[in-house]
Every structure is written in C-alpha cells, then in structure tokens.
Amino acid sequence: MAAATPPQAHIIPLDGILVVTLPPILGDSDAEHLAEQVGGRLVAEQAHAVLIDMAQMRMIDSHMGRVLNVMAAMIRLLGAETMVAGLRPEVAMTMVELGMDLGGIPTALSVRHGLADLRTRAGRSE
C-alpha cells in the first residue's frame, strides 16, 4: 500500500495573529514539526497570538494533546498567547471521557470568535 502524504497544517498570518489550520488527522512527523514551524513564523511575522483552528480535526488523542501543550508552552515563552478554536462537539466529548484537558489553553467556538477574542485581549493590554 502506497503511503499517501498526510495533509499538513496551514499557517496564515492575520493582523498579528497566526492562524494555524490543522488537517483532519495530523501525521506524527507533521505534529513534531508543527511547533518548530509555528515558532519560526511567530518570530518572522512578529505575531502576538496563535489561533489553532481544529474545526477539521476528527480526533484528538493524548499524543495530540501533548503536542498542543508543548506548543502552547513554547508560544508562551516567546511572549505570545495561544487559543484553540473550533473543536468539534464529538471531539470535545471524547476528550472529556478520555480525561484530557488542554492544560489551560483558552478555547473559542470558532475561528471568528477566537479572532474577536484575541483582538479584544490585545486591545486591553495595549
């Protein structure tokens, strides 16, 4: 069976916010490179926040939870904040039953809500 290249994450800078869109299932090698990619773009774009769009993600297991926690810790050390947006209800429910949380990473219903929230936060801190 030929291994198809798994879909990757897309990173789009938007008014000082990096919007990171994750694919339905993130391959392990891509997950490992994600923090590195996001860190690089964060510095290059001088962004103040990273909004992780998980609307397409079909599953978050404890490995993916760990990847997110590590990335959020790195983003915090770089002086920016992380927000997760668009978790599907069935994914959120499965995470709760699995006993997983996102280690205090704030969440938003959708990318639109997340962007509004992050802009409000940035406005307050300026």
Q: Which of 6, 13, 16, 106 binds another protein (CB under 8 A)?
A: 6
Return the number of other C-beta atoms located less than 10 Å from residue 16's C-beta: 14
* 65 forms part of the interface with another protein (CB under 8 A): yes
**In DSSP terms, which residues pair with 53 in a beta bridge?**
21, 85
Pick 13 or 94: Cβ nearer another protein: 94
User: Positive or negative CA dihedral for 31, 36, 42, 44?
Assistant: negative
Pick 60 or 118: Cβ nearer another protein: 60
User: Positive or negative CA dihedral for 42, 45, 50, 52?
Assistant: negative
Q: Which of 10, 12, 15, 28 binds another protein (CB under 8 A)?
A: 28
Q: Which of 12, 44, 59, 116 binds another protein (CB under 8 A)?
A: 59
* 25 forms part of the interface with another protein (CB under 8 A): yes
* 60 forms part of the interface with another protein (CB under 8 A): yes
d(C-alpha 20, C-alpha 50), whole Å: 7
Q: Which of 12, 44, 98, 116 binds another protein (CB under 8 A)?
A: 98
Roughly what angle, to the nearest 10 degrees, separates helices 62-77 and 28-45?
Answer: 20
d(C-alpha 70, C-alpha 35), whole Å: 8
- Return the DSSP state at 14: E
Pick 19 or 72: Cβ nearer another protein: 72
Binding site for another protein (CB under 8 A): 1, 3, 6, 25, 27-29, 58-63, 65-66, 88-91, 93-94, 97-100
